[in-house]
Structure 1
Amino acid sequence: MSDNVDKSKAPEWVDSNFLKEVLEYDGNFKNLIINDFHIFSSSALGDHFASIMFRVNITFSAQDHPSEKCSIIIKTLPIVEGFKKDALDKTNIDLFGTEIFMYSKVLTECRKILKSAGYNDLLAARMIYQSTEPHKVIVFEDLSELGYIMFPRTIPNEADTALIFSKLGQYHAATFKLAAEGHKALKLKGGVFNFGDIDMFNYFREPYSFFTVLVETLSGFEEASEKLAKVSFDKIVKNCIQIVNAPGSYEVLNHGDYHIKNMMFKGTNETAISEIVLVDFQICHWGSPAFDLAYMSAIIPPRIRPQAYKHYFDVFIDVLEKSGYKGLLPTFEQLQKDLKSYRILDLYFLGTNSPVLCADKDQLKDEMETLFKNPSLFKVLYSQPTYISYVKELLTVLLQEGFLDDLINSD
C-alpha cells in the first residue's frame, strides 16, 4: 500500500479491512480483496467544521472482477482531541444520525418525487455505506468521478443563482409533498440557531464587531452606523433564534446549511455550470423555506434576489403540480411575508457568514477551527472589495425599508 502525506490525518481504522467492508456492503461484490489504496484530504480550507472528509482511491479484485478501481468519500467525526472535537461534543444535534436519516429515508423518496415531475438531474450523492458503531462514518460515491466540480467562482452570477435557487425549489417541494403524504420524522430542528450547548455565536461576536467598525468607515453610511450601534449582537442572535423556530406560513425541511460550498456542479466547461448536486445534510431544519433562502442570500446581491426568489417559487409549484400533489398550494405572497420577517438573518449573515463566503482561496488561508480559536484572524476578510460592495448594497436596502429602525424599537 502507498499513500500521500494526508494519510496521517485519517483515522487508523480506515484500513484494508474497513474498505473491504465498505465495498461489500451493498452485496455487489464477493470475495473482495483490497490490493492498494491511497488516501487524500477531500475538503479545502474553510469547507467543513463539523466533520473530516477523505477521498480514497482503491484498487481491488473480486469474484468476476479481476481488476477494478474506484474512488469513495469517507466522512467521519474529528478524532483529534482539541477545540473542534470538544465543540462538536457539546452540540445537541445528532449530526451523523441526521445525515444517515436524510440519505436513507428522505433523499431517496425526494428523488422519486422529482423524477415523477420530470426533474431527472441528480439531487444528492449516493450513500454506499453507513455505520454508527464502533465509529460514526458515512461513505459516499465520489462525485468528482461523475464529472462534478466545486463552484468555479467565488460569487454566483445571475445564471448561477437561477440554477442554485431552482435546485432548492425542487428539494423543498419534494419535502413539502413528503410531509403532506404523512412521511414521519421530518420535523427536525437543526441549523446554526439550534446547536444548543455549543455557543457558535460567541465565535462570531468579535467578527461581527469588525463589520460594525467597517460600516463606521464607509462614507455616506453614517446613519447606518449610528443605528447599528444601538443594536447589540446578543439582540440580533436572540431575534434570529426566535424567528427561525417560529411557525412559517408554510413549512419544508430546509437543508439548514445551504451555501455554495455544500454543492457540486457540472457544466460544459469550468465556467458555465448546468447541473447542481447537494451535499452535507447534517443540520436539516423543519420550518419556513425562508431559512434556506436567507442563508444562500448571504452572498446574493439584493438587486437580483426578487427574480431569484420568484424563480425558486415557480419551480417549487411546478414540482408539486407535476408530481400529483392534491393539497392546497402555498402562495408567493406567503413566501414574501416570511422573507420579510427573516430580514434579521440578512443582518446577522451580513456581519458573520458573508465575509467568509466572499473570500477566495488566496484569502482564506486558515481552517475554520483555527479561525474560531482566534477570531481576530477573521478581520482581514472584512476588507475585501467584493464584500464591502455587498455591504453597501444590502445596508442601503435595510435602511430604505426601515428595518434597522424597527429592530431598534423592538423588544
Structure 2
Amino acid sequence: MSFNTDELEAPEWVNSNFLKEVLEYNGDLKNVTVKDYQISPATTLGDHFASIMFRANITFSAQDHPNESCSIIIKTLPVVDGIKKEILGNTEIDFFGTEIFMYSEVLNECAKILKNAGYHELLAAKMIYQSTEPHKVIAFEDLKKLEYFMFPRLIPNENDTAIIFSKLAQYHAATFKLATEGHKGFNRKGGIFNIGDFNVMTFFRDGFGYFKELVDTLPGFEEASEKLSKISFEKIVEKCKQSVNAPGSYNVLNHGDYHIKNMMFKGKNEVDVSEVVLVDFQICHWGSPAFDLVYMSAIIPPGMRAKAYRVYFDTFIDVLKKSDCKEPLPVFEQLLQDLKSYRQLDLFFLSTFTAMFCGDPKQMTEQMETLFEDSSPMKILYRQDNYLSYVNELLPVLLQEGVLDDLVNSD
C-alpha cells in the first residue's frame, strides 16, 4: 500500500503532550497519562490533497479509566515544503476555518434535523478536538473503529449510487432548512473553481489536453474533436466558475468536494454497501445543489444519472416535509433547470475527474505533487476501458445538446 510522502512522518508536535490535550479536550476524560502511542498515515496515495492526515493509536490512563486505548484521526496542514504547501498557503479559502465551522456549528444541527425526520444513520464523523493556534489541526473519532471502510469498488453500482445520492440529499435538505431558519455563515464560495489559480494545477490543464487528444483518435467523433479544438482550457474553466458562483434556482450548502474518496461506507463483508458517512468539509460552497450532483456524477455511469437525480430529489423533499420546513419547497423542474445550466461542468469533469477517479489505481503510482510538474503519467488513465465507456456514452449527448457549441461561441 502506497502513502503520500508528506504523511510518512508526523509533525514533531504530534507527541504525547498533544495527544493528552486532545483526549482531555471535551472534558469527558481528566488527568490523562499517555502510556504509549503509534502514529501512521491515515490515508493512501491520492485519497486527498488539502491536508495531511494521521492515525494515532493511543494507550492511556485517566481518572476512573486505569487502562484504556483508542484510535483517533489527526488532520493538519502540510509541513513539508513543496507545491502542495505553496498552493494551500496562497488560496483565499480558509480550509480549516471552514471545516471547524462545519463540525462545530452545522453538522450537529443537520444531524438533529435528520433524526427528527426519521433519518438516524451517522452523517459525519465526530470532531473531538480543534485548534488554530499554534497549529491548524482537527482530530476526529476513527471511523474504521466503527466498522466503516473505503469504497470497495472502482465504479458505483445502482445500489451504491442510490445510497450515495440519498445521503447527499439528506445533508442538502438539512442545510436548506437551517438556512430558512436564519442560520449564519452559509454564504461561502468554495469548491474547486474557487480554490485559486488553475494554471498552477497543471494536471487539470494537461488532462483537458489528453482528453482532446483521445477524442481526436476515436472513430465517429470527428465533429466533437473539431469543436473541442476551438475550446481553450481557460474558457471552460471560466464558464464553469461563472455557473457555479451564480445563484441557483434554490440554494444549499454544497459539500464542495463530493466524491467517492470523501465518504466511508458500511456493509456486509465490506462489499455490499448499505450505509455511507461523509468526511472532509473543507471547501463547502453556497449555491445550487447541481454542483455536488454533477461533481459526484463524474464517476456515475451516464445511464444511471437520471435515476440517481430522482432518488436525490425525492429524499430531499421527504426530509423537508418530515422536518416541517416552513418555506415553499423546491420542485424537481428547478433542479433539472440548474443541472442543464451546469452541462459545461459535465464536460469539464468528463475530461478531468472521470479519468482520474475511474482509472485503475494500480496504474497511478505518482504522488499528487509530482503531477504538478509532470502530468504525463496520467495519460494511461485516458486509454482505459472504464474511462472510454464514459466518453462514448456522454460526449455524444453533450454534443447533441449544444454544450460544445455554447463554449465555442461564448465570449
TM-score past 0.5 threshold: yes
Counterpart residue number, 2:89? 89
Counterpart residue number, 2:173? 173
Verify the 8 A CA contact 2:202 2:375 in the aligned structure 1.
no
What is the Cα deviation at residue 147 of structure 1? 0.3
Gaps of 5+ in 2: none
Counterpart residue number, 1:65? 65
User: 2: CA distance between counterparts of 1:93 and 1:7?
Assistant: 22
- Shift in CA distance, 200/260, structure 1 to aligned 2, threshold 3 Å: farther
Verify the 8 A CA contact 2:31 2:62 in the aligned structure 1.
yes
What is the Cα deviation at residue 197 of structure 1? 4.7
Alignment of 1:286-365 (within 5 A): 286-365=286-365
Gaps of 5+ in 1: none
User: 1: CA distance between counterparts of 2:37 and 2:109?
Assistant: 33
Alignment of 1:108-257 (within 5 A): 108-197=108-197, 199-257=199-257
- Normalised TM-score (structure 2): 0.97
Counterpart residue number, 2:11? 11
Counterpart residue number, 2:272? 272
1:124-167 CA-to-partner distances (Å, cap 9, x unmatched) read: 00000000000000000000000000000011011100000000
User: 1: CA distance between counterparts of 2:203 and 2:272?
Assistant: 36
What is the Cα deviation at residue 30 of structure 1? 1.4
The one-letter code matched in structure 2 to 1:373 is E
What is the Cα deviation at residue 201 of structure 1? 4.9
What is the Cα deviation at residue 390 of structure 1? 0.7
Verify the 8 A CA contact 2:72 2:142 in the aligned structure 1.
yes
* SS of match in other structure, 1:362: helix
User: 2: CA distance between counterparts of 1:166 and 1:363?
Assistant: 31
* SS of match in other structure, 1:258: coil
User: 2: CA distance between counterparts of 1:135 and 1:410?
Assistant: 45
The one-letter code matched in structure 2 to 1:53 is M
Q: Report the more deviating stretch, 370-379 or 226-235.
A: 370-379
What is the Cα deviation at residue 196 of structure 1? 3.0
Q: Report the more deviating stretch, 354-363 or 196-205.
A: 196-205
User: 2: CA distance between counterparts of 1:360 and 1:279?
Assistant: 23
* SS of match in other structure, 2:361: coil
- Normalised TM-score (structure 1): 0.97
- Shift in CA distance, 289/8, structure 1 to aligned 2, threshold 3 Å: closer
1:320-363 CA-to-partner distances (Å, cap 9, x unmatched) read: 00011011000100000000000010111111111110123312
User: 1: CA distance between counterparts of 2:89 and 2:7?
Assistant: 24
- Shift in CA distance, 256/6, structure 1 to aligned 2, threshold 3 Å: closer
* SS of match in other structure, 1:119: coil
1:167-216 CA-to-partner distances (Å, cap 9, x unmatched) read: 00000000000000000011111011111356455441122111100011
- Give the superposed CA RMSD: 1.4
Verify the 8 A CA contact 1:204 1:352 in the aligned structure 2.
yes
User: 2: CA distance between counterparts of 1:78 and 1:402?
Assistant: 42
User: 2: CA distance between counterparts of 1:109 and 1:396?
Assistant: 43
Counterpart residue number, 2:374? 374
Q: Report the more deviating stretch, 303-312 or 220-229.
A: 220-229
User: 2: CA distance between counterparts of 1:359 and 1:282?
Assistant: 25
What is the Cα deviation at residue 409 of structure 1? 2.2
What is the Cα deviation at residue 81 of structure 1? 1.2
- Shift in CA distance, 17/7, structure 1 to aligned 2, threshold 3 Å: farther
The one-letter code matched in structure 2 to 1:120 is H
* SS of match in other structure, 2:68: strand
In the alignment of these two chains, the number of paired residues is: 407
The one-letter code matched in structure 2 to 1:353 is F
